[in-house]
Amino acid sequence: MHRCEEVALARMVEIEEHRQHIMQGLLEYEMRKEQREMDESSKEDTANSFGSRDGPQDGVAKADENQA
Protein backbone atom coordinates (compact mmCIF):
# COMPACT_ATOMS: atom_id res chain seq x y z
CA MET A 1 0.00 0.00 0.00
CA HIS A 2 1.34 3.44 -0.86
CA ARG A 3 1.93 6.06 1.80
CA CYS A 4 -0.98 8.24 0.57
CA GLU A 5 -3.37 5.31 0.82
CA GLU A 6 -2.21 4.54 4.36
CA VAL A 7 -2.70 8.14 5.42
CA ALA A 8 -6.13 8.26 3.79
CA LEU A 9 -7.19 5.02 5.47
CA ALA A 10 -5.97 6.21 8.86
CA ARG A 11 -7.88 9.47 8.40
CA MET A 12 -11.03 7.57 7.43
CA VAL A 13 -10.75 5.52 10.63
CA GLU A 14 -10.33 8.70 12.70
CA ILE A 15 -13.37 10.27 11.04
CA GLU A 16 -15.49 7.14 11.63
CA GLU A 17 -14.47 7.04 15.31
CA HIS A 18 -15.35 10.72 15.65
CA ARG A 19 -18.72 10.13 13.95
CA GLN A 20 -19.49 7.27 16.33
CA HIS A 21 -18.57 9.49 19.29
CA ILE A 22 -20.93 12.21 18.04
CA MET A 23 -23.76 9.71 17.48
CA GLN A 24 -23.30 8.32 21.00
CA GLY A 25 -23.49 11.86 22.38
CA LEU A 26 -26.68 12.52 20.43
CA LEU A 27 -28.27 9.32 21.73
CA GLU A 28 -27.35 10.23 25.31
CA TYR A 29 -28.75 13.73 24.80
CA GLU A 30 -32.04 12.34 23.46
CA MET A 31 -32.32 9.97 26.41
CA ARG A 32 -31.73 12.81 28.90
CA LYS A 33 -34.24 15.00 27.03
CA GLU A 34 -36.93 12.29 27.12
CA GLN A 35 -36.26 11.65 30.82
CA ARG A 36 -36.49 15.37 31.57
CA GLU A 37 -39.79 15.62 29.65
CA MET A 38 -41.20 12.62 31.55
CA ASP A 39 -40.08 14.13 34.86
CA GLU A 40 -41.68 17.47 34.00
CA SER A 41 -44.95 15.85 32.90
CA SER A 42 -45.11 13.80 36.10
CA LYS A 43 -44.54 16.98 38.13
CA GLU A 44 -47.34 18.69 36.18
CA ASP A 45 -49.62 15.70 36.76
CA THR A 46 -48.86 15.84 40.47
CA ALA A 47 -49.47 19.60 40.58
CA ASN A 48 -52.69 19.23 38.58
CA SER A 49 -53.97 16.48 40.86
CA PHE A 50 -53.44 18.72 43.89
CA GLY A 51 -54.83 21.74 42.07
CA SER A 52 -57.87 19.88 40.76
CA ARG A 53 -59.09 19.25 44.30
CA ASP A 54 -59.00 22.94 45.16
CA GLY A 55 -59.55 24.45 41.71
CA PRO A 56 -63.22 23.69 40.97
CA GLN A 57 -64.37 24.58 44.48
CA ASP A 58 -62.63 27.94 44.29
CA GLY A 59 -64.15 28.51 40.87
CA VAL A 60 -67.66 27.78 42.16
CA ALA A 61 -67.19 30.12 45.11
CA LYS A 62 -65.97 32.91 42.83
CA ALA A 63 -68.89 32.35 40.45
CA ASP A 64 -71.32 32.56 43.38
CA GLU A 65 -69.71 35.82 44.53
CA ASN A 66 -70.00 37.30 41.04
CA GLN A 67 -73.70 36.43 40.81
CA ALA A 68 -74.52 37.92 44.23
Interval 11-44: pLDDT, tens: 999 999 999 999 999 999 999 999 999 999 888 8
* Residue 41 DSSP symbol: H
Alpha-carbon distance of 58 to 66, in angstroms, equals: 12
Please give the residue that has the higher pLDDT: either 50 or 29. Answer: 29
Alpha-carbon distance of 40 to 48, in angstroms, equals: 12
What confidence score (pLDDT) does residue 48 get?
A: 78
- The ranges assigned to domains in the chain are 1-68
Alpha-carbon distance of 26 to 28, in angstroms, equals: 5
What confidence score (pLDDT) does residue 36 get?
A: 95
What confidence score (pLDDT) does residue 57 get?
A: 54
